Amino acid sequence: MKAITILQPWASLIALGEKRFETRSWPTKHRGSLAIHAGKKVDREICEQEPFRSVLAKHGYTADNLPTGAVVAVSELRECFKVFRDVLGGVVILESEKRKTHFSTLDNEFHFGWYEKGRFAWELTDVRRLPEPIPAKGQQRLWNWGGRP
């Protein structure tokens, strides 16, 4: 199964169903199963900022108890969109030939990603949080994970 390493708290936000798009500077042609691996680093500063603090707290998490160095969820990578912004800069537009997805800069989704023009948003669907994180060593870019969810 392909996997991607994501720093905390972003990996947990995906696992908890609070973040639907993973933003990257590079596109991927991969579609299908994708394991979400929580890297060893926790951005403690962002965990104290809103909306991160309140969303994590809603699920019982702080910077001190986020899982690290482990696969925390499995998902389906449905689509990879190129990021565009509307003329006012207020709404993010994720475009493909098939459809468009819009959301406001007031939405948590906007705060949980890096939606600069020219970046890519990977749409994650059917996210299944693992009952217990499975320890694994992460890597950069997409990598092969041999574990069982």
Burial of 4 (0-12, 13-18, 19+ CB in 10 A): buried
69-110 pLDDT, tens digit each: 999 999 999 999 888 877 666 556 666 666 667 677 778 888
The residue ranking higher by pLDDT, 49 or 103, is 49
Taking a C-beta distance cutoff of 8 angstroms, is the pair 102, 92 a contact?
yes
Span 124-149, average pLDDT: 91
* Per-residue pLDDT at 105: 76
Q: Is 90 part of a structural domain of the chain?
A: no
The arithmetic mean of pLDDT across residues 120-135, rounded, is: 96
Any residues with CB less than 8 A from the CB of 116 and at least 6 apart, and which? Answer: 83
Residue 96, domain member (yes or no): no
Q: Which pTM value belongs to this model?
A: 0.91
Any domain includes 110: no
CA–CA dist 140, 3 (Å, integer): 10
Supply the pLDDT for residue 84.
80
Residue 21 lies in a domain: yes
Domain of 8, in residue numbers: 2-80+121-144
Identify whether 73 is part of a domain.
yes
How many structural domains are present in the chain? 1
Cβ 24 vs Cβ 82: under 8 Å: no
Tokens of 24: 């990257």
Answer yes or no: is 67 within a domain.
Answer: yes
CATH at 43: 2.30.130.30
